[in-house]
Amino acid sequence: MRYKYPMMRATICLAVLSVCGSASAWAALPRASGVPGGVAIVDVGAAGEAEPEVRFQGRRVLTVVDGERRKAVIGIALATKPGRYEAEIISGRAAARTADVQVVAKKYVEQRLKVPPSQVDLSPEDSARVAREQKRIRQSLDSFSSAAPATFSLRTPVRGPRSSSFGLRRFFNDQPRNPHSGMDIAAPTGAAIVAPADGVVLDTGDFFFNGGTVFLDHGRGFITMYCHLSAWDVKPGEQVKAGQTIAQVGATGRVTGPHLHFGVMLNGNWVDPALFLPLPPAPKPPAETAPAAESATPAAEPRQTFRP
């Protein structure tokens, strides 16, 4: 069944944690990046020990087994200031211990725009709607399911050029707005969006800013979000498989054109989706034309080799 966005016209990502004795091999942890909006990978003990409860800044953090060790995979909020932080590790009746999490500065791009006030200030009706929607959205994002993620190595959810806009800080008429919390992928309206990994649909809906939206739970606070959809093909509670079509690209909500806003969350913090996706291919160097072979018969004009 397809769930269409109202009045929208098409005009214009669990390799299950396999247990091999006491030491399971975990594939494809996200790329570590100890910056605001990044991911910290912290060793919290031997793989054979009972799984501890790990918390960072008051939020539960997921842990996975990586070879002989257990690792905590910690999402660092964009608002985190550089410095040394501590992850709390609680293991049975033993005294709680801590592990250091070092966060270094990262300079994200800023963008300052002059726009009509009507595009910045919401009406009372729209403000009330946004407030209601934020409570509903937060309910999904605060979930912490028991099943471990299948993998952190995500498929790209839709084909198209990726922007590097994660963390972009916009100022509208010198008024600061929240940093951009996801990756924009350019694609035409109606392009298929696939689940980047196995998961369960937390919620779907039409929201003021996000437009048509789907939330997927991949396990233990590892959540992905898909916004500005023209239609979606899943419903809350449905289990989806990696590569399954879940929605179509659109231009719904507060946007200027069709694209997918793709968000990744760990322990309640939006983190850079690029850390979970395959690296984009390196640009190929321009090909050079080999010099032409000399002819036994002289040509009327000398031959030339052109280089792009």
What are 84-140's pLDDT values in tens digits? Answer: 999 999 988 778 899 999 999 999 988 887 767 766 788 999 999 999 999 999 999
The domain limits of the chain are 3-13+107-275
Q: What percent of the chain has pLDDT over 90?
A: 67
Q: Which residue has the higher pLDDT, 202 or 10?
A: 202
- In tens, the pLDDT along 141-173 reads 999 999 999 999 999 999 999 987 899 988 887
- In tens, the pLDDT along 22-79 reads 233 344 799 999 999 999 999 999 998 999 999 999 999 999 999 899 999 999 999 9
Given a contact cutoff of 8 angstroms between Cβ atoms, the answer to whether 141 and 268 are in contact is yes
Given a contact cutoff of 8 angstroms between Cβ atoms, the answer to whether 67 and 27 are in contact is no
Which CATH topology does 3-13+107-275 take?
Glucose Permease (Domain IIA) (2.70.70)
Start-to-end CA distance of the chain, whole Å, equals 51
Beta bridge partners, 245, equal 194
- In tens, the pLDDT along 213-245 reads 999 999 999 999 999 999 999 999 999 999 999
pTM of the model: 0.82
Q: Which residue has the higher pLDDT, 198 or 12?
A: 198
Site of tokens 């669990």 = 14
Highest mean pLDDT among 34-38, 176-180, 300-304: 34-38
